[in-house]
Amino acid sequence: MGDRAAKDALFDGLAEVAKALASGRRAEIVDLLAQGERSVDEIADEIDQSMANTSHHLRAMARAGLLTTRRDGTRIFYALASESVAELWTALRAVATEHVAGIERLASAYLGDRDGLEAITRKELAARLRRGDVTVLDVRPDAEFRAGHIAGARSVPLDELRRTLRSLPKDVHVVAYCRGPYCVYADDAVRELNRRGYRAQRLEDGFPEWKHAGLPVTAGDAR
């Protein structure tokens, strides 16, 4: 049988993963990198932190084995070490939603009122894509679309939506999606589409969940 010290060391080692995620900013980084790799400066901009603070978080997560890096000239890019890291984030988020008091209130404060926003399931959207009777808008930043997106989706970053609507017929059924269940881009897009007379829905979650479910994805610029 193993001794107490060895067992303590083992479980302390396992807990390093939890320690590496013990920050809201680090959880946000995982949520961001689930969309695809990003440079340090892009990550800092997304999480509204200094380059120094962002680099500190990234190095700690890389030491725990959660992230990988690559260098391109003077820029350093980070990515999730494996799909298992994205799955860990999904599980952590689900446990928090189910068991941590106040999460729904916090989500509502950030996302706003969703009562008028109709959601569509992944299964239903996949069926409609096969039938070809839906227009799917990926409203994430263009870099995330290029890294990977729902097959058949059109890249329309949220700040380009109003300009794009001039070429979008009013009789189409539109579904917008973004990063996941706590991403505001799709909600804002659907609100704008509804105000302009379109029949619009948001995907129930986002691209990482679609990909994890084994549904069709592709990468590259397909505007």
Catalytic annotation present for 178:
yes
Residue holding tokens 């227009």? 135
117 with 190: CB under 8 angstroms? Answer: yes
Compute the C-alpha angle 104/107/113, nearest 5°. 100
- Element spanning 25, H or E: helix 24-33
Angstrom distance (rounded) from CA 124 to CA 206: 14
**Cα torsion for 209, 79, 221, 42, to the nearest 10°?**
110
Which listed residue (178, 186, 190, 200) is catalytic?
178
159 with 137: CB under 8 angstroms? Answer: no
- Give the full edge-to-edge strand order of the sheet including 75-80: 38-39, 75-80, 67-72
- Element spanning 57, H or E: helix 51-63
Residue holding tokens 């029949």? 199
Supply the residues annotated as catalytic: 178
